[in-house]
């Protein structure tokens, strides 16, 4: 049973890594608006966005981004990030 929990913890940790990569890609696109991924980075970005989009879209339907002037603060992303982080820690340490 503990092996199953550790494997689930590892899967959640890998998902957390995908969320971090998505955050970096979003920030790069925010600061360099004309940047578009190509080659291996494009494949990596497609995998990351494909894996992370469904949960983020579901949470964004419930909690829309908070508008602060011209900037939108994505509370849904933070919520998913912290839930996955806490669940990963609980399953890994169980």
Q: What is the pLDDT of residues 35-61, one digit of tens each?
A: 898 999 999 999 999 999 999 999 999
If pLDDT is split at 50, 70 and 90, which confidence band does 69 have?
Answer: confident
**CA angle, residues 11, 12, 16, in degrees to nearest 5:** 120
The count of other CB atoms within 10 Å of the CB of residue 50 is: 10
Alpha-carbon gap, residue 32 to 10, rounded angstroms: 33
Cβ atoms of residues 54 and 45 within 8 Å: no
pLDDT for the residue numbered 40: 95
- Among left, alpha and beta (phi > 0; psi -120 to 50; other), residue 56 is alpha
Instruction: Give the start-to-end residue ranges of the domains of the chain.
Output: 2-93
pTM score? 0.87
């Amino acid at each position: 049973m503990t092996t199953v929990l550790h494997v689930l913890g590892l899967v959640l940790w890998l998902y957390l890594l995908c969320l971090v990569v998505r955050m970096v890609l979003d920030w790069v696109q925010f600061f360099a608006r004309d940047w578009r991924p190509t080659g291996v980075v494009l494949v990596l970005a497609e995998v990351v966005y494909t894996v992370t989009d469904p949960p983020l879209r579901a949470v964004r339907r419930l909690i829309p981004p908070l508008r602060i002037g011209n900037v939108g603060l994505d509370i849904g992303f933070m919520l998913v990030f912290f839930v996955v982080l806490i669940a990963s820690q609980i399953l890994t340490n169980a």
